[in-house]
């Protein structure tokens, strides 16, 4: 749909403008606060970016619904809903690590049709429109062809309440780690999914996620030929993603 292409182009323009601001502010002092735990950060740029994006959407697409990490839901009458994480990987951003991004997913009548993940410090733009494939900086991408677990490099993450519950992903790690070639923990669910989409990683899983963490990345991965299992649980989303050769093999070790 031409409208989807226009919405994606607008989202890219706004994300890149916001990303430039993030890069500029990362060089100086920054206000950083904790949310649910001592390491669950929100920076002033999380708030600024979210406000910047929601104002752009309201001005250009009045009536569109929005779901955001920092300020919650914005109601509207439209069939379109924007799902926004202003900085996925806030801890990385606050500490000067380059692995963070702006993630924007757009749903139409409840189905995700547009995904954009922009990593300012890396200079990488992952994007997808449903049914049209996925790309990185304008080049088509595809998930890897690795088919053996012992050759696979897989990413994961851990919930903020990891020290207060046994449901902290460590049991999954203990089961899967001896079977695979390598394990990575990089701190951004959206970018982890995109690394699987472009074949740098072979798989990824995590527990207790929110939809703004993965909304865009899941579409990008699916459009790149990968497979995704997502289960809604009481404390958040369980997401397991991989190339088509490894998906069922990984799932056998970490099924919830």
Residue ranges of the domains in the chain? 2-140, 149-254
Of the ranges 142-146, 171-175, 189-193, which one carries the lowest mean pLDDT score?
171-175
Please state, in angstroms and rounded to a whole number, the distance separating the CA atoms of residues 195 and 59: 33
207 marked ligand binding residue: no
CB 106 within 8 A of CB 80: yes
46 marked ligand binding residue: no
Higher pLDDT, 197 or 159: 197
pLDDT greater than 90 at residue 30: no
Sign of the dihedral through C-alpha 22, 28, 31, 34: positive
Query: Which pTM does this prediction carry?
Result: 0.94
Please state, in angstroms and rounded to a whole number, the distance separating the CA atoms of residues 150 and 57: 45
Of the ranges 105-109, 153-157, 163-167, which one carries the lowest mean pLDDT score?
163-167
Give the pLDDT confidence score for residue 122 in this predicted structure.
Answer: 98
10 marked ligand binding residue: no
| Helix residue ranges, H only, 163-256 | 170-176, 189-197, 211-223, 247-254
Of the ranges 19-33, 141-155, 166-180, which one carries the lowest mean pLDDT score?
19-33
Q: Across residues 223-244, what is the average pLDDT? A: 95
Please state, in angstroms and rounded to a whole number, the distance separating the CA atoms of residues 86 and 150: 36
- Domain covering 149-254 assigned CATH 3.30.70.260 in the classification: no
- Identify the band that residue 39 occupies on the pLDDT scale cut at 50, 70 and 90: very low
27 marked ligand binding residue: no
180 marked ligand binding residue: no
Q: What topology does CATH give the domain 2-140?
A: Fructose-1,6-Bisphosphatase; Chain A, domain 1 (3.30.540)
- Identify the band that residue 167 occupies on the pLDDT scale cut at 50, 70 and 90: confident
Q: How many CB atoms lie within 10 A of CB 122?
A: 12
What mean pLDDT value characterizes the chain? Answer: 93
């Amino acid at each position: 749909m031409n409208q989807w292409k226009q919405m994606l182009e607008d989202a890219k323009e706004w994300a890149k403008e916001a990303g430039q601001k993030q890069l500029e502010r990362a060089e100086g002092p920054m206000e950083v606060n904790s949310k649910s735990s001592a390491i669950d950060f929100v920076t002033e740029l999380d708030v600024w970016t979210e406000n910047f994006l929601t104002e752009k959407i309201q001005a250009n697409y009045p009536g569109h619904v929005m779901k955001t990490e920092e300020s919650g839901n914005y109601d509207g009458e439209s069939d379109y809903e924007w799902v926004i994480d202003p900085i996925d990987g806030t801890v990385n951003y606050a500490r000067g690590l380059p692995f963070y991004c702006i993630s924007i997913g757009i749903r139409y009548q409840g189905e995700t049709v547009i995904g954009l993940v922009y990593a300012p410090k890396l200079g990488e733009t992952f994007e997808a429109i449903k049914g049209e494939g996925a790309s990185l900086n304008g080049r088509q991408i595809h998930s890897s062809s690795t088919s053996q677990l012992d050759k696979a490099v897989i990413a994961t993450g851990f919930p903020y309440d990891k020290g207060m519950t046994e449901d902290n992903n460590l049991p999954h790690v203990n089961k899967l780690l001896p079977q695979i070639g390598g394990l990575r923990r990089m701190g951004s669910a959206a970018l982890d999914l995109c690394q699987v989409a472009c074949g740098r990683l072979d798989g990824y899983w995590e527990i207790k996620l929110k939809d703004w963490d993965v909304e865009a990345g899941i579409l990008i991965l699916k459009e790149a030929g990968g497979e995704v299992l997502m289960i809604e649980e009481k404390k958040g989303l369980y997401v397991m993603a991989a190339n088509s050769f490894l998906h069922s093999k990984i799932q056998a070790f970490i099924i919830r």
